[in-house]
Amino acid sequence: MKSPLSFLFALAAFSTAGVHGSVFEMRRVEARGTPQATAFKLDRAGRTDTVFLSNEVLLDRSGLAGARVVQERVNVTSGRNPEQKTVPAIQLSFTGKGQKQFAALTKSMLGKQVGIVIDGRLIAAPVLREGIAGGSVTLSGIFTKEDAAALVAKVKSGK
């Protein structure tokens, strides 16, 4: 079952001086200068922001059952009849334990930002707008099918 929430994101440059965690991590976004946080760079439509993520990993690769490249329809304009286009997306599916962790995480962090790190790169920092109890979530954004495939391969291999 597809999640009702798609995280929109742009690919980010790797910028985590010495942080080599799991190939997939979700971490809480922290205030600037928090002692237990690491700075990451996030490219948002050509503008680079520094985002601080907690050093505590809330969900890692062990909670994932799989990952695959899919096509996602997204709105590119707003209004009554928004223009849509199809973009490459990454669908992550969770193990039973991972689904419970993800549901609890999204419920407890409503209105807060979470950082999604793949292969040491911050790829998204969405605000959680709703709890997600489903077994999968889709990450969509501004990247090529090749970029999406490379990220999926990293997640699948665990390396």
Residues 6 or more apart whose CB falls under 8 angstroms from that of 146 comprise none
- Is residue 116 predicted with pLDDT exceeding 70? yes
pLDDT digits (tens, 9 = 90+) for 77-86: 888 999 999 9
Which one, of 109, 113, 106, lies nearest residue 127 by Cα? 113
Instruction: Name the pairing type of β-strands 24-30 and 114-118.
Output: antiparallel
Residue type, 135: G
Q: Choose the weakest-confidence range: 26-30, 42-46, 51-55, 77-81.
A: 42-46
pTM above 0.85, yes or no: no
Are 64 and 98 in contact by the 8 Å Cβ rule? The answer is yes
Please, what are the domains in the chain? 6-76+83-157 (3.30.1360.200)
Strand partners, 50: 41
- For the chain, give the mean pLDDT: 82
Count of other CB atoms within 10 angstroms of residue 58: 18
